[in-house]
Amino acid sequence: MNYHLNFNLIWRHFDKLWQGLVLSLELAVLSILIGAIIGLVLAIWYVSAGKLVRAIISAYVEFIRNVPLILLVYIVFYGIPTVVDFAYSATVSFVGTLSLYAGAYLVEVFRSGLEAVPRGQIDAGKAIGLTPLQRLLHVRLPTMARITLPALSNTFISLFKDTSVASVISVPELTYGAQWINFNTFRIVEVYIVTTIMYLITGYSILFGLRGLERRFRAER
């Protein structure tokens, strides 16, 4: 074993990793927000629509879930602009892809959450004369939110890790930063040690933060 660990070069380029981490978080936050909107709209549509709409939504979910994320990233970034004459930056393209990806998972989460709202609560809403929209807003969604919060947190943590896929289209997030340092310093072991630790610390911080939020949410409500 004649490889001597030397972190000096890593620290010299640490801003690449730091900025990458910040971008990874931004990508994950944007994607969960847009994905949650996609998921919620489609889930509400699904539970109130007929067979055709359900089939189309299911097809979307199945497609996304059965195609590797990296392939989706390529399709959206290289494929779509080739077919239709429309260009977007790698970052925008990736946020779009990850949002669609998150949306497909969250449709399922929200749909089962909506269906898990006890019948009795919906009956009680009907009995006091709430309209279907009022029942959705004041009875079903609040209960669904409580049911789905843990799954939402888990999805966010996965999305944060999945942002590393953006490196394949040169979005300068954390993994891309690590690759850049590796190519320029050849300190492959050191850079991936530091990067892994950064993913772990951030991932666990998010986990504990969200679990804390969930507890508070449950206690308050």
- For 88-99, b/e burial (b = at least 16 CB within 10 A) is eebbebbbbbbb
65 binds another protein (CB under 8 A): no
Residue from 19, 112, 121, 154 that binds another protein (CB under 8 A)?
121
128 binds another protein (CB under 8 A): yes
The minimum distance between CB 201 and another protein, in angstroms, equals 34
Which residue has tokens 């029942």?
135
Nearest-angstrom CA–CA distance, 189 and 54: 49
Q: Please, what is the Cα angle at 16 between 14 and 21, to 5 degrees?
A: 95
Nearest-angstrom CA–CA distance, 61 and 109: 11
Region of 6-14, 16-24, 99-107, 124-132 interacting with another protein (CB under 8 A): 124-132
Nearest-angstrom CA–CA distance, 174 and 124: 50
143 binds another protein (CB under 8 A): yes
6 binds another protein (CB under 8 A): no
68 binds another protein (CB under 8 A): no
Region of 34-42, 79-87, 125-133, 186-194 interacting with another protein (CB under 8 A): 125-133
Residue 49 phi/psi, 5° resolution?
-105, 175
The minimum distance between CB 213 and another protein, in angstroms, equals 16
Size of interface with another protein, in residues (CB under 8 A): 20
Region of 30-38, 50-58, 117-125, 153-161 interacting with another protein (CB under 8 A): 117-125
Site string for another protein, 145-164 (x = CB under 8 A): -x------------------
**What distance, in Å, lies between the first and last C-alpha atoms of the chain?**
58
Residue from 131, 184, 196, 205 that binds another protein (CB under 8 A)?
131
Other Cβ atoms closer than 10 A to 2 = 3
DSSP state of 163: G
Interface with another protein (CB under 8 A) = 118, 120-121, 123-132, 134, 138-139, 142-143, 146, 221
